[in-house]
């Protein structure tokens, strides 16, 4: 795993910046928060896969970093989100990508993580995808409308810079806090009793349903005159910061609970 970690570091240095749910800081914090709540049994099983000197947060951004290699990993790009319009029922028969989506990918990765017939490399890759995608599914716009591609087509300015509302939710609100991922992890950790988090054991589709229900908040405050871009800054970040924090917390706690269930047996 030491070689794997070094390789991931090299990729991170040379690839262009992609839009990533929660950005590097957010994904690292979700994984680091989860690691604080792992059982000894789950930790041992994870160390068997990734090595005892490595941490979950080191894997958390790998599924975004490999997007630089489109030829090899392009099939996985659709795993980072699911598209569903407001009028569609997420528990019904809505149109889904033939390449898969975040719901099907998370369910598949759960099976691969515990499949000891796979190679160690295949299992750590599945674990890396799982860690990352649990973060993604808690970013409301990764369960996005088709019409605006999860907010990617909603152009705004953020402190004067041209961007889109998806990017604001992915990373710019978090960046506004100016915290390292360890500081963010500390601020998110409420020292909870993980056994009382029943929502962690709901089917993954219920986490997606939550994001669909709350994503409308991202569009509030975007009204403007025709031809003008919404100008967002401190006020938008202040209003939506609490929801971002809550979703990061939920992602971290739920990731821990699921890994404890999958690997703590």
Q: Which two tokens stand for residue 14?
A: 């040379």
Residue 264 has a pLDDT of 86
Contact present, 155 and 229 (Cβ < 8 Å): yes
For residue 89, give the nearest of 204, 218, 208, 216 by alpha carbon: 208
- Residue 10: the pLDDT is 39
Predicted confidence (pLDDT) per residue in 89-120, tens digit: 999 999 999 999 999 999 999 999 999 999 99
d(CA 1, CA 175): 30
Among the listed residues 146, 254, 264, 265, the one whose alpha carbon sits nearest the alpha carbon of residue 203: 254
Task: Evaluate whether 169 touches 232 at the Cβ level (below 8 Å).
Answer: no
Report pLDDT digits (tens) over 24-65. 999 999 999 999 999 999 999 999 999 988 999 999 999 999
Tokens standing for residue 28: 């690292």
The tokens describing 54, both together, are 């490595």
- pLDDT score recorded for residue 265: 67
Question: Which pLDDT does position 227 carry in this prediction?
Answer: 76
pLDDT for 11: 38
CA distance 53 to 211: 34
Task: With a cut of 70, list the residues of the chain below it in pLDDT.
Answer: 1-20, 225, 265
Residue 7: predicted pLDDT: 41
Q: Looking at the chain, which runs of residues are DSSP E strands? A: 82-83, 143-144, 155-158, 161-164, 231-232
Rounded to two decimals, what is the model's pTM?
0.90
């Amino acid at each position: 795993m030491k070689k794997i970690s070094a390789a991931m570091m090299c990729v991170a240095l040379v690839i262009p910046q992609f839009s990533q749910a929660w950005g590097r800081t957010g994904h690292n914090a979700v994984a680091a928060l989860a690691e604080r709540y792992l059982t000894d049994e789950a930790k041992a099983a994870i160390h068997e896969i990734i090595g005892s000197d490595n941490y979950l947060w080191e894997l958390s951004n790998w599924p975004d970093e490999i997007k630089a290699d489109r030829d090899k990993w392009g099939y996985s790009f659709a795993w980072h989100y699911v598209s569903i319009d407001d009028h569609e029922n997420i528990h019904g028969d809505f149109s889904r990508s033939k390449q898969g989506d975040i719901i099907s990918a998370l369910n598949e990765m759960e099976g691969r993580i515990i499949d000891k017939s796979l190679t160690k490399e295949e299992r750590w890759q599945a674990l890396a995808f799982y860690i990352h995608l649990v973060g993604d599914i808690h970013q409301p716009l990764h369960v996005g409308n088709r019409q605006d591609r999860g907010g990617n087509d909603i152009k705004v300015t953020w402190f004067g810079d041209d961007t889109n509302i998806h990017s604001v939710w992915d990373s710019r609100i978090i960046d506004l806090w100016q915290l390292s991922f360890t500081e963010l992890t500390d601020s998110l950790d409420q020292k909870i009793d993980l056994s009382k988090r029943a929502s962690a054991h709901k089917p993954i589709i219920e986490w997606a349903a939550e994001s669909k229900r709350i994503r409308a908040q991202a569009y509030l405050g975007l009204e403007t005159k025709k031809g003008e871009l919404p100008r967002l800054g401190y006020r938008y970040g202040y209003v939506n910061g609490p929801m971002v924090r809550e979703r990061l917390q939920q992602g971290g706690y739920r990731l821990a609970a699921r890994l404890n269930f999958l690997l703590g047996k």
